[in-house]
Every structure is written in structure tokens, then in C-alpha cells.
Structure 1
């Protein structure tokens, strides 16, 4: 089984950290290929960043689809996950959705601890899109930037602990999702500090991908996730066209 894990941003230290968590979570027979878009924002911290990141994420899928059994989009907003499911029949797992499924199975009340305060609306919409608004009881932002989750690990873990304590005491959360791919690898120490399950989203997505491939399931192509309608898409390469090549 080969799983391609795609960091949504172009920050190489984060790609390496994501790879470490993905490799640690995989079954021995699973091969993990971790990559990042060739072009796009260094971090995804708002809607502009997210929308600019999506073409590069989709390109990473289109260029390797035949050789891969499942894809993981390693950004907690799950950018482009629906479009990705249109362009491939292989399972596409967003780390946010995967972590929420895991949290939902281990706790009656759970929440998310994440990065910048401006991300609150994005996090709320991600939870709503996954269908978990009625189960998520807490969203706590820390003010930590996405890049700082990699470059300032101790500051990040301390901020997550403080936010986690508020989620537990004020919101009665019983498990927490780590709401950024850059937080991968921090779950164990935070569990020791806080005493509740902390969900590493990258690890959760890898295990979900392994399970769906093991079940021999692919994306439904009967309606919503069928291949994009044929049309000319100006300014994009031939491999991103469906049904009609780009005209010069």
C-alpha cells in the first residue's frame, strides 16, 4: 500500500515533521511518500492562503495518481478535499475530518486547539462541513502562527497546554484534536500534561487511509465526486484539463 501525504503549504521543515508523524503511524507494509506543492503559500492562515494552496495540492494528486493507493491532505482546513475526490477515485483523507472521526469515537465531548485567532471561522466551517458541529464543544485558538508550530516547539506546546486546560475546565472537553499539521508529534506530551486523549491529525489520517484501502473502497463516482465536467481551463497545463485540452 502506498499513501501520498501532501503538506498543504510549502514550508519544508513542516513537510519533514509531517513525514515523521506519518511514518511513525503507518503499518510496516505501508509506504509513505510525503511531499508539498511546488508553488503556494509558506503557511495557510486565512482564506487567501487556502485558496492559493489548492491548485498545488491538486497537482500533487494528478501527477502521481496511478502509483498511489490513497492521498492524505495534511492541513487542518482540509483545503481542496472535495475537488481532490473529483479528480481521483483513490481515497482522499483530510487530516481534520480524520481527527474528528477519531475524537468522536473516544470521547462524548471533544474540541479543537489550534493556531492563530483569525483561524476561528475557518475551523468552525471545517467542523460544520464534516458534520460534527453538534459534537464539538470547544474551539480554542492560541495566537501561535503556523510556522511557529515547527520553529518554536516549546512555546507551542505550552500554549496548547494552556488552551487545552481552558477547553477542559470551561468547555468540559474530554478529548482534543490538534488543529494544525505542524502540531504533529506533540500529542503524547500533551496527553501526559492534560490527562485526556490528544489527537494527532496526521497520524489519524494515515490510519484512516490504511483502513479505507484495506476495505477496498474508492470514491463514489456516481454523482458528486464524478470527474469534472469537460471544459477548457485557461492557463493550466494539459494534465489539469478534463475532456478538452487547453487551447494555445
Structure 2
């Protein structure tokens, strides 16, 4: 099967990082390609930028359908453009936020998201509430711009660890941005709990849906436009 990991912003180094992470968990016979919008914003840190990001997701899905892509992962916390992508794509579309939350719900009673910057807390909470997990998940944030992740996030390990420790009842940590994948190992060691990256959680879900012959229901909500 052939999957596309879509980065809704225009920062190609971030696309490269999430594609590399996706390949570490993909099946040997799965091909992973990246999708980066030619136009839009360098990072999604506001509702305005999220609207641009959603247009970028739609554009990449259109191109993916022409290339014979079997399924998609949307690599932006808050699942930018996922509902529209589901309507457009023939194969399954999984957002990294819902994938991370569903994974956490299987392995921990209570868990926390640490996202960035603080103004995007609402984006995470939207998905938490949509999945009915508000009673099990809290959302925290550090005031670091997405641009600081363009060359990796290892330098932020202790900042994220300190924020996660503010939730003493949390039994797992969800990383609230696609650019944080290289924090999984360092934070697992620091915190002694499962640390979940949404992109690597989403890839096996898409593969599983394809293997079962499943995609978005066309009965009503996600009918093709």
C-alpha cells in the first residue's frame, strides 16, 4: 500500500521529519510519501493559519488521489483539514491527534497532551471533546513557536518534561505537534511513562483500515463533495 503523510504547513524539513518517523513503524511493503503544500503558512499556530493549512491538506489529497495513494495521515495537531480530506479521499484519512488520543485511551486511564504554543490549546481540546475524552485527558502547553522545531526538538526535552510533570495523575504523555517526534525517547526516559507521537500512532491505523477494506462511511457525513 501507498500512504501519504501530509504536513499542512510549508516547512519541508518538518515534512521530512514526520515521513522519517512514519517509516519507522510502517509495514515493509508500505510506501510512505510526504505531502507539503506549495502555498500557505510556515506553521499552524492560530485559527487563521489553520484555515490556510486545511486548504493545503485538500490540495495534497487531490494530488494524492491522482497518484493512487491508498490512505492518508494528517500530521498537524488539531487534525487540520481532516473532515474535508475524508470527504475527498477514496481511502481512509487519520489525523495524528485522534490517533494519539485513541492510542493513549488503550494504555492509560488518564493522560495529558503537551502542545505548543499556548494559543493552540483550543485546537487540541476540540479533538479531545469530539472523542469524548475530556474526563481522561488534560491539555497543557509551552509557549514555544512551531518555527523552533524546524531543525528538530531535542533541545526542548526538559521544557516538555517539566510541563508534563505538572499533571501528577497522568499515566501517559501525548506530544502535541508533528515536529516533536524526536522527543519520544528522551521523554520516556525522563518521565518513566509511555510517550505517544501521533504520526507513528496513525500510520498503523491507516494500514489496518486499508487491510480491512474500510474507509470513511459515505452514508451521510463524509459523502464525497
Q: What is the TM-score when the length of structure 2 is the normalising length?
A: 0.95
* 1:107 counterpart residue number: 108
1:221 aligns with 2:218: yes
1:72 aligns with 2:73: yes
* 2:126 counterpart residue number: 125
- What secondary structure is seen at the aligned counterpart in 2 of 1:199? strand
- What secondary structure is seen at the aligned counterpart in 1 of 2:182? coil
Give the deviation of 1:151 after TM superposition. 3.3
- 2:153–2:179 Cα contact (<8 Å) kept: no
Q: What is the TM-score when the length of structure 1 is the normalising length?
A: 0.87
Structure 1 gaps of 5+ residues are 229-248
- The aligned runs of 1:162-181 (5 Å cut-off) are 162-167=162-167, 169=168, 172-181=169-178
Cα RMSD between the aligned structures?
Answer: 1.3
Structure 2 gaps of 5+ residues are none
Go from structure 1 to structure 2 and tell me whether the alpha carbon gap of 1:30 and 1:152 turns closer, same or farther (over 3 Å shift).
closer
- The aligned runs of 1:1-248 (5 Å cut-off) are 1-66=1-66, 67-136=68-137, 138-151=138-151, 153-167=153-167, 169=168, 172-228=169-225
Number of equivalences: 224
Per-residue CA deviation, residues 17-61 of structure 1 (Å, 9 max, x unaligned), is 111101111111111011211111100001000001111210111
The structure 1 segments of at least 4 consecutive aligned residues displaced by more than 6 Å after TM superposition are none
Per-residue CA deviation, residues 192-237 of structure 1 (Å, 9 max, x unaligned), is 1100000011100111111111111011111111112xxxxxxxxx
Per-residue CA deviation, residues 147-193 of structure 1 (Å, 9 max, x unaligned), is 212336343212111111112x2xx1100110000001211221011
